[in-house]
Structure 1
Amino acid sequence: MAQDHPFYSPSTHGFVRVGAATPVVATADPAANARAHVELMRRGAEAGVQLLVFPELSLSAYAVDDLLMQDALLAEVERRIGELAEVADELDLVAVFGAPVRQGDALFNCGVVVGPGGVLGVVPKTYLPNYREYYEKRWFAPAAARSDDTVTLNGETVDFAPGLVFEAVDRAGFVFSAEICEDFWAPQPPSTRAALAGARILCNLSASNIVIGKAEERELLCASQSSRILSAYVFAASGWGESTTDLAWDGQAMIHELGAKLAAGERFALEPHLTIADVDVGRIGLERLRNGTFADCARAEGEAATVIPFELGGDDRTDDLIRPLDRFPFVPHDAARLDQDCYEAFNIQVQGLMRRLTATNGERIVIGVSGGLDSTQALLVTCRAFDRLGLPRSNILGFTLPGYATSDGTKSNAWALMNALGVTGGEIDIRPAADQMLRDIGHAYAMGEPVHDITFENVQAGLRTDYLFRLANQHKAFVLGTGDLSELALGWATYGVGDHMSHYNVNGGVAKTLIRHLIRWVAEREPEGGAAEVLRAILATEISPELVPADAEGRIQSTEGTVGPYALNDFFLFYISRFGMRPSKVAFLAHQAWKDAATGAWPSNTPDIEKAAYDLATIRHWLRKFLVRFFQTAQFKRSALPNGPKVVTGGSLSPRGDWRAPSDASAQVWLDELDANLPES
């Protein structure tokens, strides 16, 4: 495959490479500062940066006080603005830098936007701080005091207003705006109005001085603003070289997207540097599309903005993404975040089950325990729920229901788990009943032929469910479901039986990859009765429905051999159901995440499949199967799901929740989009 195919370019898939520049400041020396800007702009262009943000008043320096009133300084700043505009035009790069700009007899603290074509526009600061150490009103006029919506720089007249929106006409979604330092701290930042007007990337040119605790405050503001207004936020603060007459500067630089931090630069650095990340403006657009509150607010509170179009020029980069990209979107790689997610997921499941028990005055539960991942997680949740409600674990009735292909390993694990957890265990061999049913329907297996078709499999699955529901009637209990989110997405569930139907299902909102980590999380807490050892044994067991006997070479029925690796399927599910991304973009992201084998610290019992590498052909193969299953063949099963708690964002396939779809749709439009935009194998 040709690596220069458009598929391999981040720009093809709606990514904009942004940078926060941290120059070494030369106090009151625009010529030296311009040279520093040019150096960082060239470095940015070499790294593929398309939008580069500098600190506040970066061309003059911020802490120059009454020197801002010197004509010589202001004239030199204006000359250097022209120089930087020429460099940006040469590099096909958009840069936003800080400069004092005169309009008539007033001076404004501005963000100057330069790019292809020269100076694109100038954004004056809206809110001027004049408290504590700040005295900006001594030198500057606020944006509202401007006499016109244009300003003349080096003989050229350009737009001059707060809230200007800049749009790349040749890059869908590359729409940005800028605000300056204190604007960010205002109750209604200008960036909010810019976002409502269509800007997806918000830039902050800051000269915020550093005091203890302020870095955390800035990060909180960046994260919250990007989350609340569904945007990316690029923050660049002044650093080394600014005057420390009475203040200090740390050069904090950050890039956030939809509340998540994509990149952060070194603070207190002595050398100029760039903080770079790829922002997914396509994802931002999709999030705004599905968020009715954003649209309502834009209609109610939005204001018309001046949109300045520009043409960025060709971009044939085919390098790797520069942004965090989890292989497991439902399972963060950060250990602290994973611990928090597991704590929340487990307790959401527990609370949901507790409420159902109290609502039905239930005191007993019947659950099928197979020795596999899903039933193990459901049983752990049930034990915790019973403990918190003060009910005896003996009221948890666990049954193992061995069939034709049940292995000694899974059955022994099921019994060991039930014994370790102190629940009431039972065993019913379903083979005699299955033999009878197969005889009754005249199946070939009953005549002695080795026919292991779907009927052979579902006779066993259906009988297990029949037994569980009748046992629930007998013991005045209700049946707890065990099927997980990944199985529901793939339709890997027999309609109307235990992995699909129950009185309540605690796992329906939990992806298979997260189930695995939840069991690890419990095992690490050493539950009483020696359950931890059993849990680790279950984690090490290959996923299989165990409905068909092993073949002549001893190979067991493999779930992932049929539907594909759950690691990939969960990746597909997250980006398609959560954001509605095009299949070709999902394939691009999967290739970025999985093209190399995982390295680093992984738990000793992590299956090799979670550390594997997948080439694009393999990703395409399983993604095509996923698309058919998800959009075309499995929805009728999801339309009849029992109740169960939603656990992860965008992770409910309940017909009463996040995902509502027709049961008779076609997957063709998604298959066609994938095939049309991937390189040929």
Structure 2
Amino acid sequence: MDNHGFIKVAASVPFCRIGDVRHNITEIISLITKAHKDNANIIVFPELSVTGYSCGDLFFSKTLQLAALRGLEEILSSTKDFDIVSIVGLPIYDGVRLYNCATVLHKGEILGIVPKTHIPTQSEYNQSRWFCSGNNKSGNNIEICSTQVPFNSNIVFDCKQVKFSIEICEDIFANVPLSAIHAQNGAEIIFNLASITSDVAGFDNIRTAVKHISFASSCGYVFVSAGVGESSADTLFSGLCCAAENGAILMEKNEYSFESNIFYTEIDLQQIESNRKKQIAFNNVIISNQPYHIVKTDLQIKNTNILSRKIKQFPFVPENPDIKNAQMKRIYEAVSFALAKRLRHCGINVPVLGVSGGLDSTLALLFTVHAADILKFNRSNIIGVTMPGFGTTESSFGNAKQLMELLGVTAREINIIPSCKQHFKDIGHDINDADVTFENAQARERTQILMDIANSENGMVIGTGDLSELALGWSTFAGDAISMYAVNSGIPKTLVRCLVEWIGKNELNPDGEKLTSSILKAPVSPELLPLDENNTIKQKTEDIIGDYALHDFFMYYFIRFGFTPEKIFFLAVNAFEGKYQPKYIKNCLKLFILRFFANQFKRSCMPDGPNIGIVSLSPRTGWLMPSDTHSKLWLEDL
């Protein structure tokens, strides 16, 4: 198994002794050795980690400067056989000025040196007393350890499979951060060597900046700050480490420790590549006219079987309760207002929809009721139609009737069994043959009823199908796939559940919450096949096509990032370890691919509906694909 586009990086905080270069070098070498054994590809240390950040006027000491260079040579010698890139901080004198620098090392060689650009002058960060800005250097190369090496802030280190650049501490807070220019010149990961004092506001500011930069520049960002080994005369350093990718925090540690620490995560280079291809703002930015230096080396990215970073099982659903609550509220309002806008535009105040007592129709009805409240027309204008058929259970039928009564909408009941029997007789279909014709005839009969009621009442048919069903083609062409406005078409099944639960708890009375809870417990089913001998559901959707948790996971990574099926399988195995066996995951993924390609024709004529997330299958603005595309290439990838 290959690395699947992941590169393992290490953020390391050695327990330093101020001015004790020998001790610090020993710690650094030990941590590089550990990272190498743990299959990390790049390790980064804090700002001025060789000498310690708090040396003060001792930075002027030739003794300290020479000791730092000897220490650098020792690191080179001790790690020359390691295929790992190490980034360490130390003071460097170029014969004219003293600079706060990051040195990039690989296999016993110095690849380049990056001087700090923005030198702070305030409070405890008065570095301008000792160091000059990299903007003031006199050349683009420097002789160090008897070798001429690149010496510049504008360097992209090209390791064949990954490109990265460096900024140092305050560079992150510049109004035009170096990281943005680095990214525009090809850097996929930015490493920041820092020394930040321990205060809550500082941590929050760093976290916000790291998230923002990684999002705006579609990159990975790894930040590492000095630890408690630094001076505590006036401040304390906590060893803050933080890593983000495309706006998502992957790893954050803010631990006080008298021990050296190392923290790992993996950066997904393929996700970065995918974002950059699609992000218009990133691609249209005018790159700075500053000349950039490309430094190449041959780093072999190690294979990755198990990830240290967490892969979310439910990528459409926020894990943080506060964020989740706020998002449910926004979606509830957005979809309801979208429907209200369409009704208002058409001059219609009679929404018509089928109410089965299942999840999707429940959510659609809840949106419709809120839209009616927004437009201030009576809820009784809403016509909810329950249409029991051959597979309808007492439970779902009862839930549908209770829901309509609780919400105050006009309820109609039309049994479709007589009309379907007549239809089967007309077309010569054996009623005992419960095949696809048997199923689809019921779905089309229900759609016909809704359309005709809408015509007779000057109403609008509200579609109930969700995004997951669109992806899988789990709908009937010219049946439930058709409506006049599809409110759930941008909402995946895993999010449908969350919304129904949230609305039940936050927008309904206790009886409504109890009813939605009952609906949530029922198995997902179209209820098109006859019940078994115990009058229970025989047709359970997830028993047929696999769990929606998996299909939503597949859809997210397939549509959002264009990942290969092999990589999606790898991610799913990591995300659902202990819940699903790899064989089951692979079978579900194959089915997803087959159904996704085979059912594009249904999506090509799907009705209008609001998109509320980053994945859309609308043939107009979301997903453009010919209906006769072959799936062979994607299936072979598995």
How big is the shift at 1:627?
Answer: 0.9
Counting only pairs closer than 5 Å after superposition, residues 145-294 of structure 1 correspond to structure 2 as: 145-169=136-160, 172=161, 174-294=162-282
TM-score, reference length from structure 2: 0.96
Paired residue for 1:112? 103
Query: Would the aligned equivalents of 1:458 and 1:494 in 2 still touch at CA under 8 Å?
Result: yes
Q: Secondary structure at the match of 1:350?
A: helix
Q: In 2, Cα distance between the equivalents of 1:334 and 1:188?
A: 31
Paired residue for 2:606? 641
Structure 1, unpaired ranges of 5+ = 1-5, 597-612, 675-681
* 1:47 is the counterpart of 2:35: no
* 1:493 is the counterpart of 2:475: yes
Q: Secondary structure at the match of 1:68?
A: helix
* 1:516 is the counterpart of 2:497: yes
Moved over 6 A (4+): none
Q: In 2, Cα distance between the equivalents of 1:322 and 1:429?
A: 55
Counting only pairs closer than 5 Å after superposition, residues 312-461 of structure 1 correspond to structure 2 as: 312-313=299-300, 315-318=302-305, 320-445=306-431, 450-461=432-443
Q: In 2, Cα distance between the equivalents of 1:577 and 1:460?
A: 31
Paired residue for 1:615? 581
* 1:662 is the counterpart of 2:626: yes
Counting only pairs closer than 5 Å after superposition, residues 597-608 of structure 1 correspond to structure 2 as: none
Does the C-alpha gap of structure 1 residues 380 and 43 become closer, same or farther in structure 2, counting only changes over 3 Å?
A: same
* 1:550 is the counterpart of 2:531: yes
Paired residue for 1:599? none
Query: Would the aligned equivalents of 1:88 and 1:94 in 2 still touch at CA under 8 Å?
Result: no
TM-score, reference length from structure 1: 0.91
Paired residue for 2:546? 564
Which letter does structure 1 place at the counterpart of 2:181? R
Q: In 1, Cα distance between the equivalents of 2:203 and 2:482?
A: 51
Which letter does structure 1 place at the counterpart of 2:12? A
Query: Would the aligned equivalents of 1:96 and 1:111 in 2 still touch at CA under 8 Å?
Result: yes
Query: Would the aligned equivalents of 2:527 and 2:537 in 1 still touch at CA under 8 Å?
Result: no
Query: Would the aligned equivalents of 1:116 and 1:311 in 2 still touch at CA under 8 Å?
Result: no
Q: In 2, Cα distance between the equivalents of 1:443 and 1:209?
A: 78
Deviations 1:465-484 (A, max 9, x none): 11101111222211100000
Q: In 2, Cα distance between the equivalents of 1:130 and 1:645?
A: 51
Q: In 1, Cα distance between the equivalents of 2:529 and 2:514?
A: 28
Q: In 2, Cα distance between the equivalents of 1:425 and 1:579?
A: 43
Q: Secondary structure at the match of 2:621?
A: coil
Paired residue for 1:123? 114
How big is the shift at 1:460?
Answer: 0.9
* 1:525 is the counterpart of 2:506: yes
Q: In 2, Cα distance between the equivalents of 1:486 and 1:304?
A: 48
Which letter does structure 1 place at the counterpart of 2:56? D
Which letter does structure 1 place at the counterpart of 2:190? L
Q: Secondary structure at the match of 1:66?
A: helix
Q: In 2, Cα distance between the equivalents of 1:317 and 1:86?
A: 28
Does the C-alpha gap of structure 1 residues 314 and 346 become closer, same or farther in structure 2, counting only changes over 3 Å?
A: closer
How big is the shift at 1:588?
Answer: 0.2
How many corresponding residue pairs? 637
How big is the shift at 1:571?
Answer: 0.5
Q: In 1, Cα distance between the equivalents of 2:406 and 2:290?
A: 64
Does the C-alpha gap of structure 1 residues 529 and 396 become closer, same or farther in structure 2, counting only changes over 3 Å?
A: farther
Paired residue for 1:677? none
How big is the shift at 1:47?
Answer: 2.7
Q: Secondary structure at the match of 2:81?
A: helix
Determine which of 492, 499, 503 is the counterpart of 2:484. 503
Paired residue for 2:555? 573
Q: Secondary structure at the match of 1:152?
A: strand
Q: In 2, Cα distance between the equivalents of 1:377 and 1:570?
A: 18
Paired residue for 1:96? 87
Q: In 2, Cα distance between the equivalents of 1:567 and 1:304?
A: 48
Which letter does structure 2 place at the counterpart of 1:85? L
Counting only pairs closer than 5 Å after superposition, residues 26-105 of structure 1 correspond to structure 2 as: 26-105=17-96
Q: In 2, Cα distance between the equivalents of 1:264 and 1:283?
A: 20
Which letter does structure 2 place at the counterpart of 1:670? W
Which letter does structure 1 place at the counterpart of 2:298? E
Q: In 1, Cα distance between the equivalents of 2:80 and 2:330?
A: 50
Paired residue for 1:601? none
Counting only pairs closer than 5 Å after superposition, residues 130-149 of structure 1 correspond to structure 2 as: 130-149=121-140
How big is the shift at 1:670?
Answer: 0.8
* 1:467 is the counterpart of 2:449: yes
Which letter does structure 2 place at the counterpart of 1:252? L
Q: In 2, Cα distance between the equivalents of 1:254 and 1:220?
A: 10
Does the C-alpha gap of structure 1 residues 439 and 161 become closer, same or farther in structure 2, counting only changes over 3 Å?
A: same
Paired residue for 1:583? 565
Percent pairwise identity: 36
Paired residue for 1:18? 9
Which letter does structure 2 place at the counterpart of 1:657? T
Which letter does structure 1 place at the counterpart of 2:295? I
Q: In 2, Cα distance between the equivalents of 1:313 and 1:493?
A: 47
- Structure 1 range deviating more: 267-276 or 343-352: 267-276
Paired residue for 1:610? none
- Structure 1 range deviating more: 539-548 or 584-593: 539-548
Deviations 1:492-547 (A, max 9, x none): 1111222x111111100000011011111122236137122211111111111111
Q: In 1, Cα distance between the equivalents of 2:529 and 2:132?
A: 79
Q: In 1, Cα distance between the equivalents of 2:608 and 2:158?
A: 45
Q: In 2, Cα distance between the equivalents of 1:226 and 1:122?
A: 23
* 1:534 is the counterpart of 2:515: yes
Query: Would the aligned equivalents of 1:20 and 1:52 in 2 still touch at CA under 8 Å?
Result: yes
Paired residue for 2:591? 625
Q: Secondary structure at the match of 1:203?
A: strand
How big is the shift at 1:559?
Answer: 1.5
- Structure 1 range deviating more: 509-518 or 149-158: 149-158
Q: In 2, Cα distance between the equivalents of 1:357 and 1:503?
A: 10
Which letter does structure 2 place at the counterpart of 1:453? D
How big is the shift at 1:550?
Answer: 3.0
Q: Secondary structure at the match of 2:79?
A: helix
Does the C-alpha gap of structure 1 residues 175 and 475 become closer, same or farther in structure 2, counting only changes over 3 Å?
A: same
Determine which of 462, 465, 471 is the counterpart of 1:480. 462
- Structure 1 range deviating more: 252-261 or 383-392: 383-392
Q: Secondary structure at the match of 1:524?
A: helix
How big is the shift at 1:212?
Answer: 4.6
Query: Would the aligned equivalents of 1:116 and 1:310 in 2 still touch at CA under 8 Å?
Result: no
Query: Would the aligned equivalents of 1:345 and 1:648 in 2 still touch at CA under 8 Å?
Result: no
How big is the shift at 1:314?
Answer: 6.8
Query: Would the aligned equivalents of 1:163 and 1:191 in 2 still touch at CA under 8 Å?
Result: no
How big is the shift at 1:391?
Answer: 1.9
Q: Secondary structure at the match of 1:20?
A: strand
Q: Secondary structure at the match of 2:528?
A: coil
- Structure 1 range deviating more: 94-103 or 306-315: 306-315
Which letter does structure 1 place at the counterpart of 2:583? A
